Structure 1
């Protein structure tokens, strides 16, 4: 399998356009405990919905690059990255986007709940940060957890992301508009332990 980044325990690999990878996402996004952090418990995914949303990503038809997270060779989650549009994060009043030429965004789901609260998500985010700075020449990376998701925010702060602003009604969770915390990290302010 194509690993884009790995260490002794964790591998980030490109998601493949195959039943095996679509089945993983279907399993994870049909679990209400996982879905509550994605689109909501009332928005569970079946295979058809997974194929519609993630198929174009896996086939390279969209700018989103989907990856499977493996822990000790076992698939446990999903992370994606993408080249962000300059106005995508609505942060023009906070960040001078004219200073950045290669902006990226990322999103993560740990789908196997037995791996929650073990620091694995933080390690994965740190790997993705290194990958985007070293391999994709990103100059700034954004992430946008919903403001109520304190666990994700702590993970991102531990990884060096700085909170920038609250974007009102940015995402829907169970069809209810929720605020997101726009966070960013630049190559110059990434923590030394990430180098």
Structure 2
């Protein structure tokens, strides 16, 4: 089950957060980097996007992500949450680390964006290490 939460400010869409249980995700090839997770029961994948640059560097992403992490751990009883940001997205990586995510593994050529492959971090937070 995937859930998308758009967050709006006045009439502009400010951002979105999406999460999904990992056991529902399908893989196109057996070497997909997420296979390194030992178990996917009660593991959720998450992604976050802030579309309006005027709202960057205000702590909005950290606040939104913290609230969703708390919801996933407390209401959905997740044991782990993973995310895979681009290594060059230092702002996002800093936000995820502030929220308790740690870098687990470098995923080489993991993301295809605008015709180019880029490296991503596999980052994770365990329930017991949650800020909440």
Range class of TM-score, shorter chain: 0.7 to 0.9
* 1:172 paired to 2:98: no
Whether the aligned pair in 2 keeps the contact of 1:91 and 1:165 (CA below 8 Å) is no
Measured after TM superposition, the shift of residue 135 of structure 1 is 1.2
Query: Normalising to structure 1: TM-score of the pair?
Result: 0.59
Query: Normalising to structure 2: TM-score of the pair?
Result: 0.85
Name the residue aligned to 1:65. Answer: 3
Name the residue aligned to 1:132. Answer: 72
Q: 2:50 aligns with which of 110, 115, 121?
A: 110
Name the residue aligned to 1:90. Answer: 34
What SS does the aligned partner of 1:90 have?
helix
Q: 2:81 aligns with which of 125, 133, 141?
A: 141
Whether the aligned pair in 1 keeps the contact of 2:22 and 2:41 (CA below 8 Å) is no
Whichever structure has more helix as a proportion of its residues is 1
Per-residue CA deviations over 1:155-182 (Å, capped at 9, x if unaligned) read 0000000110101111112111111100
Measured after TM superposition, the shift of residue 78 of structure 1 is 1.0
**2-structure distance, mates of 1:78, 1:159:** 17
* 1:81 paired to 2:19: yes
**2-structure distance, mates of 1:111, 1:84:** 25
Assess, with a 3 A threshold, how the Cα gap between structure 1 residues 175 and 73 changes in structure 2: closer, same or farther: closer
Assess, with a 3 A threshold, how the Cα gap between structure 1 residues 113 and 164 changes in structure 2: closer, same or farther: same
**2-structure distance, mates of 1:72, 1:160:** 30
**2-structure distance, mates of 1:138, 1:125:** 15
Assess, with a 3 A threshold, how the Cα gap between structure 1 residues 162 and 91 changes in structure 2: closer, same or farther: farther
Structure 1: runs of 5+ lacking an equivalent? 1-62
What SS does the aligned partner of 2:68 have?
helix
Name the residue aligned to 1:158. Answer: 98
Q: Which runs of 4+ in 1 moved over 4 A?
A: 71-74, 86-89
What number of residue pairs does the alignment pair up?
A: 126
